[in-house]
Amino acid sequence: MREDFRDERVYAQVRADEWLWARAKAMGLSRRRLLGLLAAGAGAAAAGLGQLARGRTARAAPATDLVVKPTPPEWFNDFGSNKEMRWEVMYNRGYEVPKELFFVRDHSRTARVDQAAWRLRVEGSGVAHPQEFTYDDILGLPSVSVMRFVECAGNGRSFFEAAYGKRAQGGQWHLGAIGVAEWTGVPLREVLDRCGLQRTARDVMPEGVDELKVRRPMPISKAIADDTLLVYAMNGQILPPDHGFPLRMLVPGWVGVANTKWVGRIEVSDEPLFSPWNTDNYVLIGPDYDPDPPSKGPRLTSQVVKSAFELAWDGEVTAGRRLLRGRSWSGQGKITKVEVSLNSGKTWQTANLREPNIAQAWVRWDLAWNATPGHYGLIARATDERGNTQPLRVPFNEQGYLYGGIVSHPVSVT
């Protein structure tokens, strides 16, 4: 039976297996030898291949070393190579998420890239002068810094099961697959112009040097936007490996997969471009969505409006007066209003919005609460400057994308 590539986990595993077999064959490792390594443990197989692959730009990492930075359970929910930020860690913190707390979304594992060997190749029918850039070349180009969010398309996926009684495919995120940072880098337009961007160019597709070579196209209009960046710094520091070192895309407002990490190649085309990440995955598949050939459903672009409380999920707080805090965001503009219900939606209060309130980043908000003992379902709903408001729930889709419905946050007061 053909694998169901609509399931991200199946797709990632199959592609990782294909990569493993292809790498073993290319290096002269017999099938028997590879099976022996696998029998000894996936870490041994990866280590054996890693030894044979010394000097490659992106080396294989042991299976037990899926990410680089520490991800302790008090900060993150663990989904293997994906790490979800716990929202309670943001209470009493500033506007941006420190890199130590920033969520991790990998399709396989963090790529380890040799900066000296790394190159950025820009090529395709949409440029007159294909070029390669070194890391120092990129650092020498004009740069800008912007405050923007990056958010996984599946953020909130677990709530489809709560709403429909059936689980969507993929990791069951709550709302912690989101982070705001100050990103510093070169406008993609600067690099494209140096390669002789053609007036006929239609699509641009960055590609990572990770094991799966994740790649997803965008239209030229988005590629040349002022804040679409090739990023090399995060919160004023060198970009960490888990977040795309040496270079990643920032495509503000769009779903996380568009923000390609570990970019090593950019294809610019005067014809439409497609990849598995905009035909089989990161599309809406379900009874409310029609196929959009060659894609299996409408392709994802902008993120929707969401809100989260800076509280532990199903946690406990002590009775008394306290300040409820949270954050709301939208891929389409600033948040203009946040309403909070302390009684499961029976009545609503308007929260106080705190500056800064940056488009395609988020706004912090708060509300005074005299908490009395009991069990509560706290609800927040936000509205952005285009009038988009969080609905009661959203139509089901098989891969669990773009859940922007209001969410009841369980909490006990003792």
Query: Tell me: the pLDDT tens digits for 317-330?
Result: 999 999 999 999 99
Average pLDDT over residues 177-189: 98
* Pairing verdict, β 315-317 and 408-413: parallel
Closest CA to 153 of 4, 279, 281, 273: 281
Report residue 32's pLDDT band, with 50, 70 and 90 as the boundaries: low
Distance CA(93)–CA(116), nearest Å, equals 36
Report residue 46's pLDDT band, with 50, 70 and 90 as the boundaries: very low
Residue 414: exposure state from Cβ atoms within 10 A (0-12, 13-18, ≥19): exposed
Closest CA to 219 of 295, 259, 270: 270
pLDDT at 44 > cutoff 70: no
Instruction: Quote the pLDDT of residue 10.
Output: 52
On whether the CB atoms of residues 133 and 122 are closer than 8 A, the answer is: yes
Report residue 23's pLDDT band, with 50, 70 and 90 as the boundaries: low
Average pLDDT over residues 5-17: 49
Residue 50, helix vs strand vs coil: helix
Average pLDDT over residues 299-313: 97
319: DSSP letter: S
Closest CA to 5 of 399, 403, 402: 399
Instruction: Quote the pLDDT of residue 12.
Output: 46
Report residue 13's pLDDT band, with 50, 70 and 90 as the boundaries: low
Which CATH architecture is the domain 112-279 placed in?
Alpha-Beta Complex (3.90)
Average pLDDT over residues 194-222: 97
Q: Apex CA 107: angle with CA 210 and CA 265, to 5°?
A: 35
Instruction: Quote the pLDDT of residue 302.
Output: 96
On whether the CB atoms of residues 249 and 256 are closer than 8 A, the answer is: no
Instruction: Quote the pLDDT of residue 65.
Output: 84
Instruction: Quote the pLDDT of residue 247.
Output: 98
b or e along 132-160 (b: 16 or more beta carbons within 10 Å of the residue's beta carbon)? ebebeebeeeebeebbbbbbbbbbbbbbb
CA gyration radius, the chain: 22
Average pLDDT over residues 11-33: 60
Instruction: Quote the pLDDT of residue 75.
Output: 98
CA distances from 44 to 19, 22, 61, 327, 336 (A): 16, 17, 10, 43, 53
CATH code of domain 306-413: 2.60.40.650
Is the bond preceding residue 294 a cis peptide, omega within 30 degrees?
A: yes
- First-last CA distance in the chain: 53
Residue spans per domain, the chain: 1-65, 112-279, 306-413
Residue 30: exposure state from Cβ atoms within 10 A (0-12, 13-18, ≥19): exposed
Report residue 33's pLDDT band, with 50, 70 and 90 as the boundaries: low
Estimate the crossing angle of helix 8-26 against helix 31-40, to 10 degrees: 130
Q: Which of 26-35, 81-90, 397-406 bottoms out in mean pLDDT, i.e. has the lowest?
A: 26-35
Residue with tokens 């990056």: 150
